[in-house]
Amino acid sequence: MDDRATQTALSLTKFGIGQPVTRKEDPTLVQGMGRYNDDIGLPNQAHAWMVRSSQAHGIIRGIDTEAAKAMPGVLAVLTGADLKAYGGLKCTLPLKNRDGSPIKYVPRPALATDKVRFVGDPVACVIAETVAQAKDAAETVALDIEPLPAVVSARDAAKPGAPQLYDEVPGNIALDYQHGDSAKVAEALKDSAHVVSLPLINQRLVVASMEPRSAIGEFDKKDERWVLHSSSQGVFGMKNLLRDIFGAAPDKVRVLTGNVGGSFGMKATVYPEYVCILHAAKVLGRPVKWTDDRSGSFISDHHGRDFDMTIEVGFDKDGLITAMRITGYGNLGGYCSNFGPMLPTLNLTKNSISMYRTPLLEVSTKCVFSNTTLVSAYRGAGRPEGALSIERTMDVAAAELGIDKLELRRRNFIKAKDMPHATPAGTTYDCGDFPGLFKEALLQGDAKGFAKRKRESKKAGKLRGLGVACYVETTAQNTQEQGGIRFNADGTVTIITGTLDYGQGHASTFAQVLSAKLGVPFDKIKLLQGDSDELVHGGGTGGSRSAMMSGTAIVQASDKVIEAGKKLAAHVLEASAGDIEFTNGDFTIAGTDRTINIMALAEKLRTTALPDDMPKDFPKTLDITHVTESVAGTYPNGVHVVEVEIEPDTGLTRVVKYNAVNDFGTVINPLLVEGQVQGGIVQGLGQVLLEGVVYDAAGQLVTGSFQDYAMPRAHDAPMITVANRPVPTKTNPLGAKGCGEAGTSGGLPAVANAVIDALSEFGIRHLEMPMTASRIWEAIEEAKAKKQSA
């Protein structure tokens, strides 16, 4: 076996699909050699700082910028009047009200001109030679804002007489969404033997990515071209949003993204700061840089969650689900973000059914404006909220019906023999073995041994609870993606994709797919992903879809490489294209030992010109630019089994045992899947036990720093065991299902159920999140007092 063949064999065994390959980028990142946006410094760049409203709601009577303009180093001070030629930041979702009318919202100006609508609403932008000079000058901008009453909860904002944010949106209701047949659901619930009703709040969360938002704007006066360097979740989508704002042609906007220090949905769209610095770059004729600080991030980055729902589930006399109804409110904040209205509507609808046969479903949600920071996608984006809705209700139902919580789930599972299964959410599960997965998860989590562990905890003076949660996610659906393959002169191969890695490990995962498909050595494969000029299409990364989207694009592009390669190899080997076979990176004349490796073929094509008389459609290179047709979404699913211990005298809660068994279809890289699941679980744990945004009645953010907002830390995270029980899907050539957000969908309800199970001996059936030590202690003391007074 020659060296090239040995290398190919090694790639297929050590770096092929299913192998636990480490992330290619880790050696760079762990040495502090990553290139994040704030690491970029362009020649002659200026610096920007935002002036933000300290009022949650008010009419702008005046903005005095004269003192700021006179400050040392100040180059310009922008207000909304300077940006009036540009379009506003829009919500592009084609959502409709229950009466068929479109969603109501007002495009957001980059700088507020008439009103401020939340604390942190930007009203001016100062550009100076240094950051310090811009900050100093920003403090001298005098705002004359006439205060108006504020409202911070969606439920209160929708009440008659609530402060109105927009004249164009009466009642503050941007969207009155309804899915399902209300009459049929009402009738089914009426006829049910038992109906469980559970008020459930998914509290607002701060995203708090490791890297604050940062951007640099440039304008090429000669080409009249905008260039934005910014952290993002996909440069092609960001480019198109900017094009809409600036009214620019496709070739007049370029977006560049390097390493990204976390996003979780928050960095997926355009923010006002980007419009300001791009305009300033055009006016000043030099690059303008802006990087937020943590205080600014707390009030200007999009927040997550903030659902206020009531879940009703009907059961017949045998404990089988008859119907489900979810009604309530989704908080949009002061403006309509590009994704916000989708979360408590479409995504909640599609992710509330879980593994259970549910004949009827209704979801009725009012998406409401309030005087708070905008709400948008946060890891799961409606999926964990849907899982929490049904899983908390199943535990409450089990208690009310007197049926074991595990048995109640078993009775209602959709069986493998019933696949494909159409749900009342408008989705169709193509495959899955929910009962088998459930059985495996209980075995892995040693549910049978829980009673013994509970007794041991009691001896130590602690409460112990067992939480079980099932989930089925609906990943992003029906989108296209680019998969380019380029054979480089230095002997490497570049994958070009429109998705974007901001922690997922795409460089290794995509290289494994290409290596398995084309036999290209793993260490010769590069990934190009953060330059919109290199893309003809790109859906970005979000909705747990990258493995399906880019994976499908890479497989299809590889097929085109093989097709072209057979013709080219036939020419080089002096054979008929029909006689050429391709296996493990080698083009071979069938029945002979005459062969040429794909890498050698690419090298030969670079050094040897094809004859001039070749047909016009004859390929001249192995390079391919390919865009998929729409790729269907998938339905990853799993069961999490969790145990917690609670100190009843303090309320302190620890997750002490965690097992997650998941069906992600074909697992390309089990090591990276495990990391994704564990990260999502910790974020779910954080929501249950620690995190929660608090506003006062005037709209001031009380939890405005890490001194007041509790993020989970290393000591809060348990050892998490992740196992895979795959049922590959046939909706994409890899058989893969998404995994990026699944940990949160399982972790959020599982930990919540475990805490309530531990508290159930006090008669506590539900507790709002975050279930902090103080809240748990208070609940225990109230339960004790109630028992003593009875």
Which range, of 392-401, 498-507, 760-769, averages the lowest pLDDT?
A: 498-507
In one-letter notation, the amino acid at residue 662 is N
Q: Of 431, 412, 413, 411, nearest to 421 (Cα)?
A: 431
Contact criterion met (CB below 8 Å) for 27 and 274: no
pLDDT value at 2 more than 80:
no
pLDDT band with cut points at 50, 70 and 90 for residue 609: confident
- Our measurement of the distance from residue 706's CA atom to the centroid of its chain's CA atoms, rounded to an integer in Å, reads 22
C-alpha to C-alpha distance for 784 and 790, rounded to whole angstroms = 10
Residues facing 465 on adjacent strands = 644
C-alpha to C-alpha distance for 720 and 656, rounded to whole angstroms = 9
C-alpha to C-alpha distance for 166 and 162, rounded to whole angstroms = 12
C-alpha to C-alpha distance for 722 and 726, rounded to whole angstroms = 13
Q: What is the pLDDT of residue 4?
A: 57
How does DSSP assign 402-424, residue by residue? T--HHHHHHHHBPPGGG-SEE-T
3-state helix, strand, coil in the chain (%, to 5): 35, 25, 40
pLDDT band with cut points at 50, 70 and 90 for residue 616: confident
Strands 253-256 and 74-79: unpaired
Helix (H, G, I), strand (E, B) or coil at 242: helix
Helix (H, G, I), strand (E, B) or coil at 58: strand
Q: What is the pLDDT of residues 311-352, one digit of tens each?
A: 999 999 999 999 999 999 999 999 999 999 999 999 999 999
* Mean pLDDT estimate for the chain: 94
Q: Average pLDDT in the 453-479 region?
A: 94
Contact criterion met (CB below 8 Å) for 322 and 286: no
pLDDT band with cut points at 50, 70 and 90 for residue 680: very high
Q: What is the pLDDT of residue 787?
A: 85
Q: What is the pLDDT of residue 15?
A: 86
Helix (H) / strand (E) element for 248: namely none
Residue 590, Cβ density class (10 Å: 0-12 exposed, 13-18 middle, ≥19 buried): exposed
pLDDT band with cut points at 50, 70 and 90 for residue 1: very low
Q: Average pLDDT in the 174-200 region?
A: 98
C-alpha to C-alpha distance for 432 and 663, rounded to whole angstroms = 8
Q: List phi, psi (to 5°) of 78.
A: -95, 145
Helix (H, G, I), strand (E, B) or coil at 769: coil
Cis before 94 (ω within 30): no
**pLDDT > 90 fraction of the chain, expressed in percent and rounded:** 88
In one-letter notation, the amino acid at residue 144 is D
Q: Average pLDDT in the 678-704 region?
A: 97
Q: Average pLDDT in the 386-392 region?
A: 97
pLDDT band with cut points at 50, 70 and 90 for residue 5: low
Helix (H, G, I), strand (E, B) or coil at 362: strand
C-alpha to C-alpha distance for 764 and 772, rounded to whole angstroms = 15
C-alpha to C-alpha distance for 402 and 420, rounded to whole angstroms = 32
Which range, of 50-54, 93-97, 384-388, 503-507, averages the lowest pLDDT?
A: 503-507
Strand order of the β-sheet with 115-116 is: 115-116, 58-64, 142-147
Q: Of 293, 378, 279, nearest to 333 (Cα)?
A: 378
The angle, 0 to 180 degrees and rounded to 10, between the axes of the packed helices 546-573 and 598-607 is: 60
Q: What is the pLDDT of residues 418-450, one digit of tens each?
A: 999 999 999 999 999 999 999 999 999 999 999
Q: Which two tokens stand for residue 454?
A: 């509970």
> Between 82 and 618, whose confidence is greater?
82
Q: What is the pLDDT of residues 560-569, one digit of tens each?
A: 999 999 999 9
Q: Alpha carbon of 586 to those of 4, 569, 589, 608: distances in Å?
A: 10, 10, 10, 19
Q: List phi, psi (to 5°) of 313.
A: -130, 125
Strands 46-52 and 288-291: parallel
Residues facing 62 on adjacent strands = 144
Which range, of 159-168, 209-218, 295-304, 537-546, averages the lowest pLDDT?
A: 537-546
Region of 171 on the Ramachandran plot (φ > 0 left; ψ -120 to 50 alpha; else beta): left
Contact criterion met (CB below 8 Å) for 267 and 211: no
pLDDT band with cut points at 50, 70 and 90 for residue 161: very high
pLDDT value at 9 more than 80:
no
Contact criterion met (CB below 8 Å) for 51 and 126: yes
Helix (H) / strand (E) element for 327: namely strand 321-333
pLDDT value at 152 more than 50:
yes
Contact criterion met (CB below 8 Å) for 686 and 712: yes
For 614-648, letters b (16+ CB in 10 Å) and e give eeeeebeebbbbbbbeebbbbbbbbbbbbbbbbbb
Q: SS3 for 191-233, per residue?
A: HCCEEEEEEEEEEEECCCCCCCCEEEEEEECCCCEEEEEECCC
Q: Average pLDDT in the 124-134 region?
A: 98
Q: What is the pLDDT of residues 265-284, one digit of tens each?
A: 999 999 999 999 999 999 99
Radius of gyration of the chain from its Cα atoms, rounded to whole angstroms:
28
